[in-house]
Amino acid sequence: MSSSIYNHRSLQPTGPPNREPAARLNECFEIIRQEFDGITQENTALRSQRDEFESKVTGQVNELNIIRQSIYELENSHAKLRQSYDEEIARLSQELERYRQQSAATAAALTAAQPTPGPGPGPGPAGAPPLERSTPVMLSQPPGPPGSAGFDAGFHGARERERDRDRDRDRSLAIDRERERERERDRERDRERDRDRDRDRLPDARDSKRIKTDRERVIKTDRPDLGFSPSLPHPLPSSSKLPPPANQPQPYPPAEASNGAAPGAGEEIDPHNVPPELKKEGSDWFAVFNPKVKRALDVNLVHTLMHESVVCCVRFSADGKYLATGCNHTAQIYDAKTGQKTCVLIDEKADKQRDLYIRSVCFSPDGKFLATGAEDKTIRIWDIQKRKIRTTFEGHQQEIYSLAFSHDGRLIVSGSGDRTARIWDMLDGSSKVLHIGAGEGGDEPAQAPTPPEKGAGDAGVTSVAISPGGHLVAAGSLDAIVRIWDVQTGTLLERLRGHQDSVYSVAFTPDGKGLVSGSLDKTLRYWDVRGVGERRGPSANGNGKKEEKGMCTMNFTGHKDYVLSVAVSHDANWVVSGSKDRGVQFWDSRTAVWQCMLQGHKNSVISIDLSPVGSLLATGSGDWQARIWSYTTV
């Protein structure tokens, strides 16, 4: 009997197949299918909701754009109506003046044409008073002597009435002119009183800088005004919500002309009348280019960086990749290319209930540290990567307004409202004090103070800068003087006089041969400091007194209000300034002629900085915004 696997019955099926596993599998598939169908329906509903939300958002954005466009159109219409109204008033005034001249000429002609009258009429009937020339006499009256006295009297009466009316008109016009002159004098006195009040205002207990400008008033207000619009003819001062009437002088007169003044400086530029090729507009900014020189520049808005308070300071890193800003309690670091905030530095130990504005920020040359100077008189050196305070420098008696690192990162200079600048050693924390006023030296004994100048009662240091070679320190102060010291010895080398008001910003040129200063007198000045670098010591005349050589070679005029910040481009082609007039101006560094006027903030431009390696400009303002702009040569 042959062997086969089929002989083993136990290996063959003995009954109907077991269908229970297949049923369970089908049941699982059914459950999965039901769940998939449910998820698909839910996804479809969510997709429809998303589409609905996107449609609503798009509609709202469109409505906002329509509203914005309507506002711009209304502003344009208002400007045109205002212009036509002013033109109509001017035309009517000219026509009225022409009528007055014609009336005067007619009266003079009548007077010249009238023959000399003979003897006038005698008295009337007995006991009757003589006729008055201003009283009309009818021809029916009894005739007098030959010459028709009745007609003569009537003619002269009419002529006299005409003269009386002319005299009344002239008297009324003279009264109106006198009243207008009186009102003008009152307005001028009010402006002078406001300026004097600003200059003489005493500092409060927490602010020795006596900021006559937005660095104090804006910081305390913490709210931007709303008087700005890119469609207005020119920026409005912060103190006014409406433009001044056309027949009244501007609140801030144009800067005085001086040697080296830019052509067209002080002239009003109306963006509406500028040719399209000399104007560039964005959604909330515009730039106007000088029509008197060849256009050599183009500007664009790159990023708008919103803050939670006034932006007191802006500063690029040495490689130009990052931008630091300072505001109330915090310093921020942004990626200059993307505009993204990469770091926020805040001292948790500081009192959150009180304001603590960061007045100055400065990167170390290697980009590892950020120095901040604040209202609490303390300099903090932050380790950016760890977001922690590495060290603090204390010694100033009042607020710190300016900081600058040396190019090797070993030293940091600070300026304070306590009338001193200090040079700090980053390694051992020691400092050299540079006094303003008595002594005005480093560690030398005090000398006899120089005679006080006008406005020298307050000489707080508002701005400091270190020369590219690291040998000189420059400081601007409230007494309108720029001082230069030797870094190694702390010896005062030069006082640069020329500004008529407080100096708020100083910046060396990249080659270290020049220094630019900005002042509350609405001007910038360029100083040739090559002699200071070579002399390296106080010059003296035969009497042993310090000689002060006038080294100002250019004067930049054109701003309508205080110049609060200045900077020089890395290629030395441009000088840039920010002002209380809310504008930023680009100046040709060789001619002091303005090339471009940029309006992009709703409040004073408190701080500006130019990238050390690229063509970027940063601006910080009282409108709670910092902005990054690009500028290119065309």
pLDDT of residue 458: 74
Element holding 169 (H helix, E strand): helix 149-200
Instruction: Let me know if residue 212 belongs to a domain.
Output: no
At residue 85, does pLDDT exceed 50?
A: yes
Q: What is the mean pLDDT of residues 248-253?
A: 33
pLDDT confidence tier of residue 240, bands split at 50, 70 and 90: very low
Cα 602 from Cα 495, distance rounded (Å): 36
For 343-384, the pLDDT digits (tens) are 999 999 888 889 999 999 999 999 999 999 999 999 999 999
Return the residue matching tokens 């000689």: 547
Residues with Cβ within 8 Å of residue 515, at least 6 apart in sequence: 465, 474, 482, 484, 496, 506, 507, 508, 509, 526, 527, 529
Cα 603 from Cα 439, distance rounded (Å): 39
At residue 256, does pLDDT exceed 50?
A: no
Tell me the C-alpha to C-alpha distance, in Å, between residue 293 and each of 262, 276, 297, 605. Answer: 11, 15, 11, 25
Poorest-confidence range of 43-52, 237-246, 386-395? 237-246
pLDDT of residue 232: 34
Q: What's the token pair of residue 506?
A: 């100083």
C-alpha atoms less than 13 angstroms from C-alpha of 417 in its C-beta half-sphere: 21
For 8-49, the pLDDT digits (tens) are 555 555 555 555 778 888 889 899 999 999 999 999 999 989
pLDDT of residue 174: 73
At residue 65, does pLDDT exceed 80?
A: yes
Measuring CA to CA, which residue among 157, 169, 159 is closest to residue 101? 169
Cα 326 from Cα 401, distance rounded (Å): 11
C-alpha atoms less than 13 angstroms from C-alpha of 70 in its C-beta half-sphere: 6
pLDDT of residue 212: 43
CB 479 within 8 A of CB 458: yes
Cα 605 from Cα 586, distance rounded (Å): 14
User: β-strand 431-435 against 461-466: which pairing, if any?
Assistant: unpaired
In one-letter notation, the amino acid at residue 50 is R
User: What CATH number does residue 424 fall under?
Assistant: 2.130.10.10
In one-letter notation, the amino acid at residue 267 is E
pLDDT of residue 163: 64
Sign of CA dihedral 122, 127, 130, 135: negative
pLDDT of residue 188: 74
| Percentage of the chain modeled with pLDDT above 90 | 49
Instruction: Let me know if residue 567 belongs to a domain.
Output: yes
In one-letter notation, the amino acid at residue 510 is P
Cα 465 from Cα 504, distance rounded (Å): 12
Number of domains in the chain: 1
By the 10 Å C-beta count (0-12 exposed, 13-18 middle, 19+ buried), 11 is classed as: exposed
Residue 253 phi, psi dihedral angles, 5° rounding: -65, 155
Instruction: Let me know if residue 72 belongs to a domain.
Output: no
At residue 245, does pLDDT exceed 80?
A: no
pLDDT confidence tier of residue 97, bands split at 50, 70 and 90: confident
Q: What's the token pair of residue 456?
A: 């020298």
For 142-190, the pLDDT digits (tens) are 444 444 444 444 444 555 566 666 767 777 777 777 777 777 777 777 7
At residue 226, does pLDDT exceed 80?
A: no
pLDDT of residue 372: 97
CB 617 within 8 A of CB 607: no
Cα 235 from Cα 232, distance rounded (Å): 7
Poorest-confidence range of 58-67, 461-470, 613-622? 58-67
CB 503 within 8 A of CB 546: no
Instruction: Let me know if residue 581 belongs to a domain.
Output: yes
pLDDT of residue 260: 38
pLDDT of residue 6: 52
Measuring CA to CA, which residue among 406, 354, 405, 357 is closest to residue 378? 357
Cα 334 from Cα 340, distance rounded (Å): 5
User: β-strand 574-579 against 492-497: which pairing, if any?
Assistant: unpaired
Average pLDDT, the chain: 77
pLDDT confidence tier of residue 498, bands split at 50, 70 and 90: very high
Query: Could you tell me which residue, 339 or 201, shows the higher pLDDT?
Result: 339
Poorest-confidence range of 205-214, 317-326, 431-440, 545-554? 205-214
Cα 147 from Cα 160, distance rounded (Å): 19
pLDDT of residue 456: 45
pLDDT of residue 515: 96
pLDDT confidence tier of residue 55, bands split at 50, 70 and 90: confident
Cα 27 from Cα 377, distance rounded (Å): 77
pLDDT of residue 198: 55
pLDDT of residue 417: 93
Poorest-confidence range of 199-208, 543-552, 592-601? 199-208
How is the beta sheet containing 341-346 ordered, strand by strand?
A: 313-316, 322-326, 330-335, 341-346
Measuring CA to CA, which residue among 142, 101, 105, 100 is closest to residue 121? 142
Element holding 21 (H helix, E strand): helix 20-113
pLDDT confidence tier of residue 413, bands split at 50, 70 and 90: very high
Instruction: Let me know if residue 171 belongs to a domain.
Output: no
Element holding 82 (H helix, E strand): helix 20-113
HEC per residue, 337-365: CCCCEEEEEECCCCCCCCCCEEEEEEECC
pLDDT of residue 264: 44
- Domain span holding position 477: 271-538+547-633
For 283-310, the pLDDT digits (tens) are 999 999 999 999 999 999 999 999 999 9
How is the beta sheet containing 358-363 ordered, strand by strand?
A: 358-363, 369-374, 378-383, 388-394
Measuring CA to CA, which residue among 236, 322, 332, 274 is closest to residue 583? 236
pLDDT confidence tier of residue 430, bands split at 50, 70 and 90: very high
Instruction: Let me know if residue 394 belongs to a domain.
Output: yes
Instruction: Let me know if residue 170 belongs to a domain.
Output: no
pLDDT of residue 2: 53
Q: What's the token pair of residue 152?
A: 């003569």
pLDDT of residue 203: 40
At residue 555, does pLDDT exceed 60?
A: yes
Q: Which one-letter DSSP state was computed for residue 6?
A: G
Query: Could you tell me which residue, 568 or 121, shows the higher pLDDT?
Result: 568
